[in-house]
Structure 1
Amino acid sequence: MKIMFCWKCGNEINEGDKFCTKCGAQQFKVCTKCQKRISIFDGFCIYCGEKLIVPKAVQKPKQKQKDQKNFKTYSFKFSNIILNASKRDEINKWLSENNVIIHYLKPRFYLNTFCPGKWQASIDTLDILYEPAETNQNYYFEYASVSGWIKRPTEKLEKIYNDWKETHPEYQILWKKEADFQTTRSEYVMSIFVLCKKIEQK
């Protein structure tokens, strides 16, 4: 049984646990159409596109003031001159230099067309809601980008994602987000972003 970490409080839970045993936060939901697990924050299924109902409690998480007193927000604002690889490195540098427990990620995306031939669904801003931790939590931020004609290259992107998971068994996926855009020449550009945590070997 793999160990996971609650997105809200960082508590260790077992893979497949729908709720955190410490704070009670829901960890995932199941698409009503394709029955696949997806993020509780997604309004649409990333696999089949089904529109989903997002409970108000999930749309805008509310916590008691006493629980929020140590929470802080760190915001990344990126230049459109650089692509996702450099942005990933900047995020990981911050994660490696700061002892934090991450509670929430809020990204904003756009179509980066600065580099011809290398268009990407790219990160514009990323807000990280966190609280200080005594030790480094071994977070790692990763991405993959693909493009395709006629239809969205969803299967190609998902294969890259699954291949990465198989070759990096030491990392547990905590957060996953996709972004896609269509260019003026009908090319689809897609990216996937994940936040992982390295599992300590026992």
Structure 2
Amino acid sequence: MYCRECGNSVNENAEICTNCGVRPLNGHNYCQSCGSETKDQQELCVNCGAKLVINKQAVASANDEPSGLVNFAACCFPIVGLILYFVWRDEKPRSAKSVCKWAVIGFGIGIVLYILAIIFGILAEIALGY
């Protein structure tokens, strides 16, 4: 096996490349099967035909940016935030945590508004003498 970052030969069970210090399958510069040079978006090695291993965690973390619009929707409709949390918790943990936080905030705001409505209703009833 070859390191995808530096192209040096590494043991199949190696956690870290001893040449560059990167996990062997985390790079994108070389083929893990033959060590020939590859490009960023390349999926197959043109030299040996092997399918290039792509680190899914690195790709997922690049796409894991919490959206303000989604957070606003979760605040206004907490059930949406709860659903998105369970859908995203494994593949987009930062976004899932953010949307869950805003859903809890929205739920809290809803409870406060409900209590205020009850209090104002009671006060209006007292003031009008019903």
Task: State the TM-score, normalized to the length of structure 2.
Answer: 0.22
Task: State the TM-score, normalized to the length of structure 1.
Answer: 0.17
Q: Which has the higher strand share?
A: 1
Q: Which has the higher helix share?
A: 2
